[in-house]
Structure 1
Amino acid sequence: MYRDHVPCNMDERALGTTGYDVTEVGMGTWNIGSDWGDVSDEAAHEAVRAAIDAGITFLDTADVYGDGRSERVIADVLAEYDPDERPTVATKAGRRLDPHDASGYTESNLREFVDRSRSNLDTDALDVLQLHCPPTDVYYQPETFDALDVLKAEGRIDHYGVSVERVEEGLKAIEYPGVETVQIIFNPFRQRPAELFFDEAARRDVGIIVRVPLASGLLTGNLSAETEFPENDHRNFNREGEAFDRGETFAGVPYERGLEAVDELRPLVPEDATMAQFSLRWILDHDAVSAVIPGSTDPKHVRENVIAASLPPLTTEETERVREVYEEYVADAVHQRW
């Protein structure tokens, strides 16, 4: 049932205090922009179409995904649909800085980035702008968040939030009253956010967007020690953090250790579901989560991701076993790092 049936309607959850209700399963579009091997224009457009046709009402992108390609693809596809049914689109800014230093997160630079994204997305105001995993020092710069308030007052952005690498950054970010969303890595191999951060975010009514939910493909169950990745795929060139934070690749889990952990999780996956669906359902079992944003360039996988919202919640025993696998195989590599 769950492999083949696409539900007509997904449940929606409030995205913090933004006023947007978004589908539990959204779509991340890093894959169609860059760093995941070559993706044709046709495949990129088809992936976004598949998401919208499957009922997804939340898309996440960034100005550096393919140097704006991801944003432009989204704009192209949305132009094909009724404007009244337009999904909520969140984008990110900051990583265009070179060097990527906290001192660059100024009002003038952010305005430039925002205006570029407004052009790419063909919109007057960005639904949600997120600082794109800025240096930790940015969270101790009130002037950066003052700048976001100015851009909001000017009508360039409707809401803003942050995308963080570490739990501590998320906790600091939500001290600023204007921060309405936090995007963070969370999955069966990165469980620390559920310990304190989720409670604090819920207490402040901050929306939680979960990225890297499938640990760069590890939690699809389709990778092996023999899998080869293209030269321009971050799973080939960023395993030790050579290009950006190591936690973005396989969620920071050493590849071979991750494969062992996946094998331990396989018996928990229902016969009529995939491991990817099981992993997404585990994430959605956490009420603090507003949306999870798996990315894919395969329309079939996009549709399968949506189906995860229809799976029943994990049992107590299954949840406990996921925690045991985490503690035995990956916690020592990731828990205190992020």
Structure 2
Amino acid sequence: MDSRPLGTTGFDVSEIGLGTWQLGGDWGSVSDEEAANAIDAALDAGITFLDTADVYGDGDSERRIKSALEERDDDVVVATKAGRRLDPHEADRYTHENLERFVDRSRENLGVDSLDLVQLHCPPRDVYYRPEVFDALDDLKDAGKIDHYGVSVEKVEDALKAIEYDGVETVQIIFNPLRQRPAELFFREAQRRNVGVIVRVPLASGLLTGALSAETEFPENDHRNYNRHGEAFDVGETFAGIPFEDGLAAAESLESVVPDGVSLAQFTLRWILSFDAVSTVIPGSKTPSHIRDNVAAASLPPLSAEQFHHVEDVYDTYAREHVHHRW
């Protein structure tokens, strides 16, 4: 699998990474053994970028990554996130003291002296207008507790504001055939500033795998059950913010241009990697076979012009009115 530079961090990371939200919670229960098998499968397949957060399973995801890496000798970049432990989650609580406390906890969970990359975890918009927050991150970098920092955002506007700060080296953002707005302006600005782009929710919480149907039932502790209308956190994190029924129709239409022998998930990941601004894309799975299939997408041939046009038509027909001006 090819690698791409992650902005100005100096890291070259695999085009397909592994998101590990599902290894901590909110996607149904997962055992330590299942988590270890998923991480092992990812590393064996050539993945060199793991993304986690301190709130995934209240630190379980970070600790499971630590346990898996202790048993191996892989050169892996581990990115984590900080900020969502704040309760209430308010901008004025993004203080040096709180950020340092979160960073120290993640360092312990991951068993490292310094975090490879820490990202502000979808903070309130006012955070981006507080230079002192980014000064605090610079201080933590100077103190040797973090190597690099970036942001994870909900909205394009937040991403554009964040990259005005010189210290922000990466942005994590939702991008997939049902959430195309980042490709309009943000990708161009990220490339101009040499900012790494990490794409999350690439498969729209499973919609773009082709494996879901109107009859699919989700466990009670799966966010696709309890956050379908944004009851717990930003609804854009669940099915990329598109109504479930429209998402199913969109997936069915996309299937019509997927080549034989290629899954809808692989087609989607190949489409995302067609954008040069993307550094890595981080589908999440706890199933080794799915992880290997995701990695295989990086080796597929480029999409045709006809396929690109069809993806645009699907977006315009099923998704644009729901998501374009919201995120």
Q: Same fold (TM over 0.5)?
A: yes
Structure 1 vs Structure 2 CA RMSD: 0.5
1:273-318 per-position Cα deviation (integer Å, ceiling 9, x unaligned): 1000000000000000000000001000000000000001111111
Aligned partner of 2:83 among 81, 86, 94: 94
Q: Output the TM-score relative to the length of structure 1.
A: 0.96
1:218-260 per-position Cα deviation (integer Å, ceiling 9, x unaligned): 0000000000000000000001110000000000000000001
Which SS does the other structure have where 1:130 is aligned?
strand
Question: Which residue of 2 is the match for residue 291 of structure 1?
Answer: 280
Question: Which residue of 2 is the match for residue 146 of structure 1?
Answer: 135
Find the aligned partners of 1:103 and 1:96 in 2 and give their Cα distance: 14
Preserved contact between residue 61 and residue 89 of structure 1 (Cα < 8 Å): yes
Instruction: Report the residue type matching 2:240 in the other structure.
Output: A
Question: Which residue of 2 is the match for residue 16 of structure 1?
Answer: 7
2:154 pairs with 1:165:
yes
Question: By how many angstroms is 1:41 displaced?
Answer: 1.2
- Which deviates further from its counterpart, 264-273 or 170-179? 264-273
Question: Which residue of 2 is the match for residue 243 of structure 1?
Answer: 232
Find the aligned partners of 1:26 and 1:313 in 2 and give their Cα distance: 19
Question: Which residue of 2 is the match for residue 58 of structure 1?
Answer: 49
Question: By how many angstroms is 1:270 displaced?
Answer: 1.1
Question: By how many angstroms is 1:90 displaced?
Answer: 0.3
Structural mapping, 1:1-338, within 5 Å: 10-82=1-73, 85-338=74-327
Which SS does the other structure have where 2:182 is aligned?
helix
Find the aligned partners of 1:162 and 1:151 in 2 and give their Cα distance: 15
Which SS does the other structure have where 1:89 is aligned?
strand
| Aligned-residue identity in percent | 69
Which SS does the other structure have where 1:90 is aligned?
strand
Which SS does the other structure have where 2:8 is aligned?
coil
Preserved contact between residue 78 and residue 86 of structure 1 (Cα < 8 Å): no
1:56-102 per-position Cα deviation (integer Å, ceiling 9, x unaligned): 000000000000000000000001111xx320000000000000000
Find the aligned partners of 1:313 and 1:292 in 2 and give their Cα distance: 16
1:87-120 per-position Cα deviation (integer Å, ceiling 9, x unaligned): 0000000000000000110000000000000000
Find the aligned partners of 2:256 and 2:228 in 1 and give their Cα distance: 27
1:16-61 per-position Cα deviation (integer Å, ceiling 9, x unaligned): 0000000000000001111001111110111011100111000000
Find the aligned partners of 1:47 and 1:154 in 2 and give their Cα distance: 33
Instruction: Report the residue type matching 1:65 in the other structure.
Output: Y
Find the aligned partners of 1:61 and 1:154 in 2 and give their Cα distance: 22
Instruction: Report the residue type matching 2:76 in the other structure.
Output: P
**Which structure 2 residue ranges, 5 or more long, are not aligned?**
none
Which SS does the other structure have where 2:55 is aligned?
coil
Question: By how many angstroms is 1:196 displaced?
Answer: 0.1
Find the aligned partners of 2:173 and 2:102 in 1 and give their Cα distance: 22
Q: How many pairs were matched up?
A: 327
Instruction: Report the residue type matching 1:77 in the other structure.
Output: A
Which SS does the other structure have where 1:276 is aligned?
helix
Which SS does the other structure have where 1:180 is aligned?
strand
**Which structure 1 residue ranges, 5 or more long, are not aligned?**
1-9
Which SS does the other structure have where 2:199 is aligned?
strand
Which SS does the other structure have where 2:147 is aligned?
strand
Find the aligned partners of 2:144 and 2:105 in 1 and give their Cα distance: 15
Find the aligned partners of 2:39 and 2:93 in 1 and give their Cα distance: 32
Find the aligned partners of 1:47 and 1:81 in 2 and give their Cα distance: 14
Q: Output the TM-score relative to the length of structure 2.
A: 1.00
